[in-house]
Amino acid sequence: DTGVSQNPRHKITKRGQNVTFRCDPISEHNRLYWYRQTLGQGPEFLTYFQNEAQLEKSRLLSDRFSAERPKGSFSTLEIQRTEQGDSAMYLCASSLMLSPYEQYFGPGTRLTVT
């Protein structure tokens, strides 16, 4: 399977704990995006990378959130001191730089903060 993969698929954590999610994009894609989706809503943009450079961050991305893409391949999204409001599906997508709006999404990581 050469699609976008995300791990873990599900994560349950207690409030205050740190969590980290991983995204492996389609190998030739140089753009990588993170979105968050809560129940009944469409996905909301969080941040995106072109290769290893983080080019844009949403105001939704509080100081507790950090994303990296160290070698321009896989990416990690870390949430520190989780809160119940962080419970959501975290989606990763990738695209070619020349087709930024044709994004291929992974299955998501569902985070539940108890």
Whole-angstrom distance, CA of residue 86 vs CA of residue 71: 27
Q: Which amino acid is at 70?
A: P
Least distance in angstroms from the C-beta of 55 to other proteins = 8
Spatial separation of the C-alpha atoms in residues 106 and 91, rounded to whole Å: 6
Instruction: Tell which residue, 85, 87, 76, 73, has the closest CA to residue 29.
Output: 73
Classify 84 as helix, strand or coil: helix
Query: Strands 10-13 and 109-113: what pairing?
Result: parallel
Q: Select 14 or 42, whichever has its Cβ closest to other proteins.
A: 42
Residues 19-48 that bind other proteins (CB under 8 A): 31, 33, 35, 41-45, 48
- Complex with other proteins: residue 14 or 59, whichever CB lies closer: 59
Residues 79-98 contacting other proteins, CB under 8 A: 91, 93, 95
Of the two residues 74 and 104, which places its CB atom closer to other proteins in the complex?
Answer: 104
Residue of 8, 18, 62, 100 interacting with other proteins (CB under 8 A): 100
**Chain centre to alpha carbon of residue 35:** 6
> Is residue 58 part of the contact set for other proteins (CB under 8 A)?
yes
Could you list the residues that contact other proteins (CB under 8 A)?
A: 4, 31, 33, 35, 41-45, 48, 55-56, 58, 91, 93, 95, 100-108
